[in-house]
Structure 1
Amino acid sequence: TNIKRDIGSGWNNNTQAKKEGVDVITSSRGPRNISFDYLIKGTFFSEINANKQKLASYINSEDTLGLVFEDEPNKVWYALPDGEQSFSTENKSGTLTFIVPEGHAYSTYTNVLNSDNSGGINGSITPNDDGSVDITINNQGTLPTWIDLKLTNNHDNGYFAVIGLKGALELGNREEVDGVTIQHSDVLYDSKTDPKFSKFVSAAGQPHPEWTGAGTNGTIGYQEYNYKSSNGQQKTMKGVKLIDPGSQTGFRGG
């Protein structure tokens, strides 16, 4: 009962006098004190004494303890016991006093900003045409805080750049996916699923990609024709060939 948490924590200001007022050399947040009254349950002395020892064991720590109060369940104060911890035998009650070295509480939960809640109270995520993404985060606390940024690529990419108001972080190589050059083959067309190459689209009249002197106004297509082999057997040739060489002289293609 009777939880005492003042507004904010104390401030330590180092000042230097001047003709009018002072110059503030440094200003820092001081610790914060929290105290509350407690009541030990029990009828007999042995029972009360055992509960006193149990309470002492809870706060007997050289490391900060997490204090969470019922009226502020989403805050935790990392504190140390401070000074004498009072107890009155007459009414079986006393006061516990703690010091919060950092002077402030921490939130016990995190807010998540993603594409599902973008544009709400937590902030916004806006993709741009150049592939970058603008992220605005609304910190609903009273102090600056860290963020846990999780990035997921939608395609093969070996580079990340995170640019904030006070700096930038780059990961990877802008020019190459993983920094390793490998040789590999790509399947451009599979005739097993389209043996007559019906999915081919004519590119007649378009310039040769490597040499402007080559004519590509001919026609390449699928063709079947019968012929006799050297032993007189009738055979059928199937495949893609230059059906019409076009009007170009010299190098010709389709």
Structure 2
Amino acid sequence: MSKVIKVTYGDNILSDLFESVTNIKRDIGSGWTNNTQAKKEGVDVITSSRGPRNISFDYLIKGTFFSEINANKQKLASYINSEDTLGLVFEDEPNKVWYALPDGEQSYEPESNKGTLTFLVPSGHAVSSFTNVLNLSNSGGVNGTITPSTVDGSVTAVIKNKGTLPAWLRFKIKCSQENGYIGIASPTGAFEMGNIQEADGVVKPESEYFYNSESNIPFSKFTDAVGVANPQNNLLA
């Protein structure tokens, strides 16, 4: 038996209902709409926008007897019955998720048990199902570089986006010393948190008095778990 390419939609595995999946159509890119205005030579482009995208594939429904075929048809109808976009994933591109809706009439031929499923991707593009991590341990590799400055304490990060669309970034910053300010600047904007003038010069102690047993007679014999006083101060219980 030939292997059927795995196709999932939302939480359901559509290909479990099929004997075969063929003729998968995922055209190159999505359609573009350009709004132009004529001028003496050529045109001026007023707006340019990416349109939606259609994805379709042919299937052969699984089953030998009418009852099996009919049950799988009903399951298929329930699997694709969604008014919200769900993730459509094909096994040959496991890292791409197409957030799609069923679109148009979903054809089926009773004589051959074959049909075609068609989906609309409103955004016109897929999204990645995984994230890449850039840190000091892999700096200089395929994801980019991180370069700390020995002059002003700043850090420069050059991130390589290996996709075809802008990517959202998630920063995780760990300060190596007390710091009241964090600033992130890029060619497209800036983010600030805290007070850049924070320089009170006060070092907060790492331990403070929590309880003094000498000033509380009923608990004057309090000690730690092994009966030893705190080495920093013998009054600390």
Q: Tell whether 2:186 aligns with 1:169.
A: no
How many matched pairs? 184
Corresponding residue of 2:51: 30
Question: Quick one: higher RCO (CA 8 Å, sep 6+), 1 or 2?
Answer: 2
User: With structure 1 as the length reference, what TM-score do the two structures score?
Assistant: 0.69
Mark the structure with the bigger radius of gyration.
1
Corresponding residue of 1:78: 99
Cα-Cα RMSD: 1.9
Deviation at 1:111, TM superposition (A): 0.6
Corresponding residue of 2:85: 64
Q: Deviations over 1:179-237 (max 9, x none)?
A: 9x989789xxxxxxxxxxxxxxxxxxxxxxxxxxxxxxxxxxxxxxxxxxxxxxxxxxx
What is the CA–CA distance in structure 1 between the aligned matches of 2:108 and 2:123, rounded to whole Å? Answer: 27
SS of residue paired to 1:73: coil
SS of residue paired to 2:197: coil
Match of 1:151 among 152, 164, 173: 173
Residue 158 to residue 8, structure 1, CA distance change in 2 (3 Å): same
What is the CA–CA distance in structure 1 between the aligned matches of 2:203 and 2:89, rounded to whole Å? Answer: 60
Corresponding residue of 1:196: none
Deviation at 1:137, TM superposition (A): 0.1
Match of 1:40 among 61, 81, 96: 61
Deviation at 1:33, TM superposition (A): 0.5
Amino acid at match of 2:63: G
SS of residue paired to 2:41: coil
Deviation at 1:43, TM superposition (A): 1.6
Match of 1:94 among 115, 125, 133: 115
Deviation at 1:25, TM superposition (A): 0.6
Corresponding residue of 1:110: 131
CA contact (8 A) 1:8 1:104 kept: yes
Q: Deviations over 1:145-187 (max 9, x none)?
A: 101111110111110000001111110011226x9x989789x
Runs of 4+ in 1 over 3 A off after TM superposition: 181-186
User: With structure 2 as the length reference, what TM-score do the two structures score?
Assistant: 0.74
* Residue correspondence of structure 1 range 226-245 to structure 2 within 5 A: none
Residue 154 to residue 92, structure 1, CA distance change in 2 (3 Å): same
Q: Say which structure is richer in helix.
A: 2
CA contact (8 A) 1:59 1:65 kept: no
Deviation at 1:85, TM superposition (A): 0.2
Residue 8 to residue 185, structure 1, CA distance change in 2 (3 Å): closer
What is the CA–CA distance in structure 2 between the aligned matches of 1:51 and 1:124, rounded to whole Å? Answer: 51
SS of residue paired to 2:136: coil
